[in-house]
Structure 1
Amino acid sequence: MAGFANSRQNEKICKKVYVNIDNEYKNYFIGDKEVRDLLTREGERKLEGLPNSNIELKNLEKRLEAHKFVKAAEVYKGLDGNVHVIVKQNRPIARILRSDQDVYIDEEGTVLPLSDTYTARVIPITKSAYSKALDKGFFQDSTGQAYLSLLKFIEKDQFWKAQLAHMHIDGKGKVSFLPQVGEHTIEFGKPDEVETKFKKLLVFYKEVLPVMGWDRYKRVNVEFEDQIICE
């Protein structure tokens, strides 16, 4: 019976291809047309009209996952013989600005190229010429993982994601930020005790700036334990 059912399924004709692109994080790096072009090799081999026996699902998934902005793809056949495609996009969390290359990184530290069709709203990062190169391998070791954890914290926090406009890493590996609102520089220090430092910084925003004024300070340092230094 199983063999008979499988044989009948293979005889069915694909009449339509359904594409579902996961836009959970409001990324639009790949669209419906691009997905269909990948599936059909730019229209050379359309799936509509083919019997199920001639459609190799795993090959279609591999073709989609070879795209620079596709994190995972699932392709399956429905009981009616039609093909269903689910695409999950890569999620950039920061953009590295450097003289030789302008790239994104995702939450796993993987380097992604820029897109011709969409620009992600993520924090840009620059570094001192004397600091370690922020290349593909940087975010995979223990040192780089600390910076990656910092970026993931910012990306997941709505307030800090909106408030922090720029991140810089100096020659000693210390981090500083420029805010969207205010004229001050935030001196964060090394990417450790991240949650504690942001809690101190939130105290500065909630209790100090409303009293002293947003233009009162040019420098705010939360690097040291139990201290907020404002100048």
Structure 2
Amino acid sequence: MGTKWKSIKLLGALIVVMALFAFSNHRSQLRKPTEISLKFLGDDRLFITQDAVNKLLIQNYGSLENLPKDEVVLDSLEQTILANDMIKNAHVYYTVNGQLKANIVQRTPIGRVQGNDKFYLDDEGKRMPLSPFYAARVPIITGEVTGDALSQIYELLKYVNQDGFLRKNLIGIHVVSDNDFQLRFRMEDFVVELGAIEKLPQKFANFKAFYAKATKDKILGAYRVVSLEFDNQVVCTKI
């Protein structure tokens, strides 16, 4: 009798727990979310603000406070956020207590095209619009920037960003033609004639050796043009 009574009590407790879980889950599904909580991962210099993202969501869905939880499609919210050209990745989710959150990763500009058509070049080699909220400090790209030239500039900037000296000091790239590029460096008046985007390790090794020697001799200001177009040498033109 005792064993049977214990089994009945255990079954009853199990039924109660299942009923509470179902009730809690039902209430959770009906619970209306508050405004979505946004978190920008990585760089805190925002090309798009939290208010701008919230306005984007309101334009598409209205106030999320008016929607039950089971009517909120997370994938759809993510795609709406990703439709903004400033955003690289977004993950929308509910916390265990029912709070709606979104983790957002912005795109990363590595160069800025300054011409009739103004835009950033991002770290995937794609065009990225300028932001009304923040201007990135990246090398300025001038000249006739064709599609082929832009793809070569992307390869150049990928190389530059892996080198501490170049990343810190390069401020400008000028497109002479699709296979001919000039560079500008911080605090120096001379133009560096890079030529084609080839043999970059050799060209920049030669340039850094020249730069170190000219800095030591205090003669950097004497040059107007520094050419890296010739194999294994740096050819300089004085002012």
Same fold (TM over 0.5): yes
Aligned with residue 222 of structure 1, among 222, 228, 235:
228
The DSSP-based 3-state class of the residue aligned with 1:215 is: helix
Q: CA deviation at 1:173?
A: 1.9
Distance 1:172 1:15 in 2: 52
Match of 1:37 in 2: 55
The DSSP-based 3-state class of the residue aligned with 2:222 is: coil
After superposition, give the CA deviation of every residue in 1:160-214 in whole Å (9 maximum; x if it has no partner): 2331221111136211112222221111111112222222211112122321422
The aligned runs of 1:13-28 (5 Å cut-off) are 13-15=32-34, 17-24=36-43, 27-28=45-46
Query: Would you tell me which structure has more helix in proportion to its own residues?
Result: 2
Aligned with residue 97 of structure 1, among 103, 106, 114:
114
Distance 2:218 2:29 in 1: 73
The answer as to whether partners of 2:49 and 2:133 remain within 8 angstroms in 1 is no
Aligned with residue 130 of structure 2, among 109, 114, 131:
114
After superposition, give the CA deviation of every residue in 1:12-32 in whole Å (9 maximum; x if it has no partner): 4424532111243x5421111
**Residue identity opposite 2:126 in structure 1:** T
Distance 1:154 1:27 in 2: 22
Match of 2:3 in 1: none
Gap change, CA 1:172 and 1:83, over 3 Å in 2: closer
2:141 aligned with 1:125: yes
Identity %: 26
2:89 aligned with 1:83: no
Q: Which runs of 5+ in 1 are unaligned?
A: none
Q: CA RMSD in A?
A: 2.5
Q: CA deviation at 1:215?
A: 0.6
Q: Report the more deviating stretch, 111-120 or 9-18.
A: 9-18
**TM-score, normalisation: structure 2:** 0.80
The aligned runs of 1:169-208 (5 Å cut-off) are 169-171=175-177, 173-208=179-214
Aligned with residue 168 of structure 2, among 162, 165, 172:
162
Q: CA deviation at 1:146?
A: 3.4
Q: Which runs of 5+ in 2 are unaligned?
A: 1-17
Aligned residue pair count? 217
After superposition, give the CA deviation of every residue in 1:29-70 in whole Å (9 maximum; x if it has no partner): 11111122222228x722236431121111111111111111
Structure 1 residue ranges, 4+ long, deviating more than 3 angstroms after superposition: 3-9, 143-146, 155-158
2:168 aligned with 1:150: no
